[in-house]
Amino acid sequence: MTEPFLEKVKLSLPVGLWIENCLSSGIPAAQLIDFIHHKDFATIVSKVDDPNMDMLDRLHTATEMNDPWERAMIEGYRFKFIHIGGVKRLLKLRFQLQEHKDYSQHENRLSGLRLTSDQKDMLEERIGSQWEMVAELQTDSYSTTIQIRLKNESC
C-alpha cells in the first residue's frame, strides 16, 4: 500500500509556494486558475499573504519546469524537495504561523507547533516524503504540540 502523499502531483519549491500564496487569497481554485490563465493577477495580489511575490515570474517557472500547477491547485500536491526554510515559508503562507511566535527552530527541527488534525494532514501531504511530524508533550502545560523534523533524524 502506498502512502497518500506519494500519489499526489509533485511540484518544485517555487511553484508550490506560489500555489500556497494564491490559495491564501481565499479565492476558489477554479477561479484562481481562470485569473491566472488570463494573467489577471491584480485581483489575486490584493488578497494574498505575500503581495510582493512575482506572480508572472512564478507562472513562467511553472511552465518551464512543466509543473502541473492547475491540477495541484484542485487536487493537492507534494513538494519534490523542501528545505527547512521552505517549510517555515509554507507554515506562514498556509496557516499564518511565524517562527518565535508560534514555534521555534532548533537546527533542522521546528518545535512547539499547535496544529489541527486537518492542518497536520495537509502538511503531511505536502512535505511527508522528507519530513515527519512527531507529537511532543509539553511538561509545563501537559499539552501536546507537534515537532517537524527530517525523516531518519534522531530526536
Domain end call among 81, 106, 132: 81
Q: Chain-wide mean pLDDT for the chain?
A: 92
User: Is 45 inside a domain boundary?
Assistant: yes
How far apart, in whole angstroms, are the C-alpha atoms of residue 100 and residue 89? 14
- Helices and strands of the chain, counted as H and E runs: 7, 6
How far apart, in whole angstroms, are the C-alpha atoms of residue 5 and residue 87? 16
Whether 63 and 123 share a structural domain:
no
pLDDT digits (tens, 9 = 90+) for 67-81: 999 999 999 999 999
Residue environment code for 116-126, b if the CB has 16+ CB neighbours within 10 A, otherwise e: eeebeebbbbb
Whether 134 and 99 share a structural domain:
yes
**pLDDT value of position 154:** 56
User: Is 3 inside a domain boundary?
Assistant: no
pLDDT digits (tens, 9 = 90+) for 38-92: 999 999 999 999 999 999 999 999 999 999 999 999 999 999 999 999 999 999 9
Amino acid at 28: P
User: Is 60 inside a domain boundary?
Assistant: yes
Domain end call among 60, 81, 102: 81
Cβ atoms within 10 Å of 54's Cβ, excluding its own: 12
Q: How confident is the model at residue 152 (pLDDT cuts 50, 70, 90)?
A: confident
pLDDT value at 155 more than 70: no
| Domain count within the chain | 2
How far apart, in whole angstroms, are the C-alpha atoms of residue 100 and residue 3? 32
Whether 60 and 105 share a structural domain:
no
User: Is 87 inside a domain boundary?
Assistant: no
Whether 17 and 37 share a structural domain:
yes
Domain end call among 81, 107, 127: 81
User: Is 113 inside a domain boundary?
Assistant: yes
Domain containing 40 equals 8-81
Whether 15 and 70 share a structural domain:
yes
- Which of the 8 DSSP states describes residue 9? E
Three cell numbers, residue 112: 512547539
Q: How confident is the model at residue 2 (pLDDT cuts 50, 70, 90)?
A: very low
Half-sphere exposure of 132 (CA within 13 A, CB side): 10
